[in-house]
Amino acid sequence: MSGDGDFGLLSPVSASPAVVALTGDRSVIAAILDVEAAWASVLEEAGFAPAGSAGVVAEAAESWAYDAASIAERAQGGANPVIPLLADLRGRVRQLDAGHPGGAVGALTAVHTSLTSQDVLDSALMLLAHRVVSALLAEAKGTTTALAALAEQHADTLCVGRSLTQHALPFTFGLKAAQWFHGVAAAARRLEVVELPVQFGGAGGTLAAGAVLTEGSSSSPFDLADALAGKLGLAPVPAPWHTNRLAVTGLGDALAALTDSFGKIASDLLFLSRPEVAELGEPLAAGRGVSSAMPQKQNPVLSVLIRSAALQTPGLAAQLHLAAANFNDERPDGAWHSEWPALRQLLRLSLGAATQLRELAEGLRIFPEAMRRNLEISGPLLLSEAVASSVAPLLGADRSEGKARLQAVVDETLRAPAAEQARIYTKLLREAVPASKLSDEELQAVLDPANYVGEAAEISRRILAAYPEFSHSNPNGADRG
C-alpha cells in the first residue's frame, strides 16, 4: 500500500491490502499499461507494428516502474492520467528498444497508435472493474453459501417477525437467513451479467486514425477493437461508446444494488445484536469492537462498516447517472472526469463491504433461546391473526361479528401492563370462546407459534432452489478470489 498515497484512513470498510491491491492508484496505472501493452500486441499480430515490438512494450509496461504521485500531479496538465503515463511509457519503450539484444525494433510505433486517452482510460477502468467484480462475486458467493447453510440449519428455529418496529407474527430465523440470501444472490446474479466493454473510437469517436492505419489491409478498426477486447477479457462492442455511458451506469447500478442487499443484512444485525435483543452476535476477534472509553463494550463493527458502505453507494451511483446525463459533445467538459472517482469508490466500498459481510456470515453467532424469549414477550397476542381466522366463525352469526368480539378482547388486553398482557389475553379469550366450541387443547394449538409460520420452510426452500449457484460452496475450493 505504500505507493498508493490513500490508505483509507477515513474509509475503514475498504482499508485492506486486498482492496487497495485491486483499486489503488497502482492498480489503475497497471490497468492503463495493460491496455497499452495489449494494443501493441494487437498491432503486431495484425502487421501494423514491427515484430518484437509487443514484447518491448510489455516489458516497459511493468507498473512498478512508474511514479504514481508524479503521474497524478502531471495529470493536471492534460486533465487525465493517461497523458503523463503515456509519456513515461514511451520513454521506457525508447530506452528498452535501444538496448534490445537484437537491435532496435521500432517498438514506439506500437504505442498508442490510433488510440485516444478516452479509449485507454475507459478500457482500463472496465478492466479494473472486471478484476474487482471477480473478487467481489467470490466474496458474495462465500456469503450466500454461509447464509444458505443458516437457512437450512434454522428452518424450524422460531423467532418473532417485526413490522414497523413492533412484534407482528411468528417467524423463523431460517426464513430470515433465506431472505438475506435472496437479496445478495439476486443482486450478485445481476452483477454477473453486466457487460464490461472495451472502448475504442479515436480522437473524436469516428475511428478516423484507425481507418488510415488499416487502409488497404484485410483488417478494419473494428477487427482490431475486437482483438483488444479478447486480449483484455472485456466484451466486444459494435461501435464506440464515448458518450453513451450505459456501460458505466449499469455497472454502478449493479454495485449499488449489491451493497443495498449488504446494508439490509447489516441493519438487521445491528438491531438483533443489541443487548436487550441479543438474538445474534458478530464473530469475535481480538481487538475488534473495542471502545476508546468503555472497556465493556463489544461493538458490532462489521455491521457498522457494511452499513456505512451501503449508505454511500447510492449517491455514487447517482453521480454516474448525473455525469452520463451531461456528456455533451463528443467528449464532455468535466462529466467524464467526474465518473472516475465515483466509479472507483463504488468498487472499493462494494468489495470492502463484501469482504466484511462474508466474515460476518461465516462466523455469525445464533442465540435461539433469546429468539424464543423475545417471541414470548408478546406471547399469545402474537397469534391474534390466527385466532381471528380460526376462532371468529365460532363467536357469532357471521365472521364480522366474531372478529368484533375478538378485537374487543385485544383492546382490553392492551390496556393492561405489558407484563400481564399474555396472561390476560389467554384468560379473556378462554372466557369469550365456549369450551364446547373450542377445547383447551384446541385453543393451545391455535396459540402455538410453531403452528402459524405459514409456508416459511417452503419459501426458504424455493429461494435457495432458485439460486443453486449461490447456495453451495465451490467443490474445487475456488470460492475466494
Query: Which positions are annotated as active-site residues?
Result: 291, 331
First to last CA, the chain: 19
